[in-house]
Structure 1
Amino acid sequence: MTTTHIHKKYKHIEPELLQAVTDFETKGDYVTKGERNVIKKFDIEGVFYSIKKFKTPNAAQSLVYQYLRKSKAKRSFLYAEILTARGIHTPLPVGYVEHFSGGLKESYYICEHIEYDFDFRVLNHNPQWPNRAEILRQMAAFTFDLHEKEINFLDHSPGNTLILDRGDGTYDFYLIDLNRMRFETMSFEKRMHNFRRLWLSKTMINIMAKEYAKRYNKPEAETHALMTKYSRAFQKKVNSKKLRKRRN
């Protein structure tokens, strides 16, 4: 059994989109080729679309995705629609395709492809990145906007924010990898906890905590302390896992 859903805006190219999914293994250009998920882009009538193929779940998970929980592809589409409706940038959602046979076997998420200038990771790795402090301030403002709009992006990590330089000192931030989100009112604790995966240095926290505190009307020292607490706890946890793996 196959489930397909294409947004009404793209119905006129539905056959071409579904053909691209059918041809996914043999056609299209790689955008990313990971161990779990693969993204390719396809040119359809002069417009590029990204198609993300999710890793095939194990037997137990495949049954969960068929009967109890929405697939990652479907969640990505639904969450992208919510983000777009709330004024948060993400590549525009086009549709999804699911193949079931005794559980979920394959799932694909389709969105418009965007060409971006860099992602948040470059700010982690390059302290001399041009206009870095201003980008960090605007990233803090963007995250504040997410929280105000009751969006808890659980995978708020460096590789999941694409950044477009508008050329006038301002930047647009686009969220990707959308299948893990909660839509809820966020306390101050939850807001600071949401920064933990960004792998922030002391300098980055100094900049971002100050900007967030100003917008949230919270003391800078309190904001800085809590953002640091959750960031360092997460980094320590990840580093401990890496160390254990190396020892084994």
Structure 2
Amino acid sequence: MKLTINPKYARLRGFTESLPRIFPTSTGGKTLYEGRNIVKLYTQNGQRITVKSYGHLTLFNRLIYGSLRKSKAERAFRHAIRLQCLGIDTPEAIASLEIRRFGMLRDSYFVSAYTDYLPVSDITASFPQNPDSQNMLDQLVGFLVELHRTGVYHRDLHIGNILYRCDTRGNCRFQLIDTNRMTFHHRLSQRRRIENLRRLACETDAYLYILKRYAEATGADTHSFQLRGVLLRLFLEAWHHLRHKIKMAFRAIRPGGRTDSAIAER
């Protein structure tokens, strides 16, 4: 067991160390999300805590994460701390926990403070019908510009991984989540910035507006910036579609996988 804990939350050491035992059960936790990874909400001494368990790993990845590379949980923990040092808001990191067996990573958990911020996808989905959405998107663009100005390249900059909260006067704050896949640089080129923005995967109207306002905020040519952003997004979507088809084909022919005839019978 390898535990990395924020000294501010040393009182939660016992709880964190108990995760391999309590997380697979329903003991005291509420499931917020369940897919490849599982996210649960716990309450400890009146404080709400989010725990993310990273999905089952292949044998190859167990070996890699067990010896050559930091686990997703540890990277999420360290990146969250670094983001806050850079002035980029993210739920406060509490701890990361890794469970190894025979030198291979078996399970890993990232523990953070709970956030009640909402997904930015609520804003992009209502644009331009909602009269308040334009002001919110303008503030989102300011957040993205600042994110890139500090040299942060979030490899999962999906619109669902940006959260927001606005006060009664319409001033919004934003947070980043899913922080395990990111890199930090002294400076990001315009090409790298556009490549990063293409991952937003939001509605077309909102995406074009974000590109336009981002270009204006950074002094780039608006039409060229939008065109490159659209083309890069189309290429990314085509690649994801192709990769999905390859995965499905592989699963159909591997031992234990479903064949086309088996699928057709269902």
User: After TM superposition, is the score higher than 0.5?
Assistant: yes
Distance 1:32 1:130 in 2: 31
Corresponding residue for residue 3 of structure 2: 4
Corresponding residue for residue 139 of structure 1: 140
Q: Which moved more, 1:47-56 or 1:12-21?
A: 12-21
How much does 1:155 deviate?
Answer: 0.3
Task: Evaluate the alpha carbon distance shift between residue 58 and residue 240 of structure 1 in structure 2; reply closer, same or farther with a 3 A threshold.
Answer: closer
How much does 1:6 deviate?
Answer: 1.1
Find the residue that maps to 1:40 and give its secondary structure: strand
Q: Is the 8 A contact 1:138 1:171 kept in 2?
A: yes
Corresponding residue for residue 198 of structure 1: 200
TM alignment of 1:1-248, pairs within 5 A: 2-26=1-25, 27=27, 28-34=29-35, 36-102=36-102, 103-116=104-117, 118-127=118-127, 128-129=129-130, 131-184=132-185, 185-239=187-241
Aligned residues: 244
Give structure 1 regions of 4+ aligned residues with deviation exceeding 6 angstroms. Answer: none
Distance 2:167 2:20 in 1: 33
How much does 1:41 deviate?
Answer: 1.0
Task: Please tell me the root mean square deviation across aligned C-alpha atoms, in Å.
Answer: 2.1
How much does 1:240 deviate?
Answer: 5.4
Q: Which moved more, 1:52-61 or 1:195-204?
A: 195-204
Q: Which moved more, 1:10-19 or 1:188-197?
A: 10-19
The share of aligned pairs that are identical, in percent, is 25
Q: Which runs of 5+ in 2 are unaligned?
A: 250-259, 261-266
Q: Encode CA deviations 1:128-152: one digit per residue, 9 max, x unaligned.
A: 3452222222222111111100000
2:231 partner letter: K
Find the residue that maps to 2:180 and give its secondary structure: coil
Find the residue that maps to 2:115 and give its secondary structure: coil
Q: Is the 8 A contact 2:125 2:203 kept in 1?
A: no
Q: Is the 8 A contact 2:159 2:202 kept in 1?
A: no
How much does 1:221 deviate?
Answer: 2.0
Q: Is the 8 A contact 2:121 2:202 kept in 1?
A: no
TM-score, scaled relative to structure 1: 0.90
Task: Evaluate the alpha carbon distance shift between residue 58 and residue 241 of structure 1 in structure 2; reply closer, same or farther with a 3 A threshold.
Answer: closer
2:153 partner letter: N
Find the residue that maps to 1:48 and give its secondary structure: strand
Task: Evaluate the alpha carbon distance shift between residue 125 and residue 214 of structure 1 in structure 2; reply closer, same or farther with a 3 A threshold.
Answer: closer
Q: Which runs of 5+ in 1 are unaligned?
A: none
Find the residue that maps to 1:156 and give its secondary structure: coil
How much does 1:207 deviate?
Answer: 2.0
Distance 1:200 1:50 in 2: 26
Task: Evaluate the alpha carbon distance shift between residue 243 and residue 3 of structure 1 in structure 2; reply closer, same or farther with a 3 A threshold.
Answer: closer
Distance 1:174 1:39 in 2: 17
